Chains A and B, each alone.
Chain A
Amino acid sequence: MEIHIPTPLRAYTDKQETVSVEGATVAEGLASLVAAHPAMQQHLFTTEGKLRSFVNVYLNDDDVRYLPAKEDSPVASTDELTIIPSIAGGTLCRCCSC
């Protein structure tokens, strides 16, 4: 499968926009990505090995978090994974809602 890498993380994939990996599931694909590019580990996963909360992973057009099998969802060689960090903000104060 192919994994599309967002701009900030291409520094850790030798500037590649798309990385081809092997794997039968989403989790295996991500593991292959990290095996080939170890620096991706800290950017994608917490120290507990969970996907960081702001890292979205899409299998084709579906958010992996909402798939029944989540990261264990099966993938085909023609599938595409997209890693996309979230983007949000605003003037609202996080501490006191002022």
Chain B
Amino acid sequence: MSLTLSQQLYDELRAHGEETYPHECCGILLGKSDAENLAVHQLLRAGNTRTDSAHNRYNIAPQELIAAQREGRKSGLDIVGFYHSHPDHPAQWSPTDFAEAHWLGCAYIITAIEKGHAQITNSFLLTGTTEEDKAFANQPITIE
């Protein structure tokens, strides 16, 4: 399943990571998904509640997720994934990312920010049906 988003949204999520550097940024992806494609229609920036360790951890408050879900309901969109940045680390999921990933079927976009500049952006689809068989799969990004 590929991930599709506009150049504008792609640029926005990467810019967010540059703005919050050296801290991690995070946000919510609203869109639509079917069996073959996950289309992002809107980004919602989220605050990183991990102010104690914002350079290497992120957490989105449940209240922000609920607000995003409500906004999605109004516009006919769903939460289809999330994005965050890895300051001075590769755009690969970490053991922490995996352990704390619970949105099966959703996309997790990671942008590497090196010295304040966005580098590689990758997306990973959380596959599986339970906590026991979940796995991250590389997910191609299509920019339209």
User: What residues make up the interface of A, taking CB atoms closer than 8 Å to B?
Assistant: 4, 6-8, 11, 17, 42-43, 52, 54-56, 58, 61, 63, 82, 84-95
B56 touches A92 (CB 8 A): yes
B102 touches A7 (CB 8 A): no
Supply 26 A–B pairs (Cβ within 8 Å), ascending by A: A6-B79, A7-B78, A8-B104, A17-B73, A58-B62, A82-B66, A82-B69, A85-B103, A86-B100, A87-B59, A87-B60, A87-B82, A88-B57, A88-B60, A88-B96, A89-B96, A90-B24, A90-B56, A90-B84, A90-B97, A91-B56, A91-B89, A92-B57, A92-B94, A93-B94, A94-B96
Question: How many A-B contacts at CB < 8 Å in the complex?
Answer: 103
In chain B, residues 78-126, which have Cβ atoms closer than 8 Å to a Cβ of chain A?
A: 78-80, 82, 84, 86-87, 89, 93-106, 108
Is B41 part of the contact surface with A, judged by Cβ < 8 Å?
A: no
Give the residues in chain B near A93, CB-CB below 8 Å.
94-96
A63 touches B50 (CB 8 A): no
B62 partner, pick from A7, A8, A63, A90, beta carbons under 8 A = A63
Q: How far is the CA of A89 from the CA of B24 in the complex (A)?
A: 10
Give the residues in chain A near B65, CB-CB below 8 Å.
84, 87
Give the residues in chain A near B63, CB-CB below 8 Å.
58, 61
Query: What is the CB-to-nearest-CB distance from B53 to chain A, in angstroms, rounded to a whole number?
Result: 7
B94 touches A8 (CB 8 A): no
A86 partner, pick from B78, B86, B89, B102, beta carbons under 8 A = B102
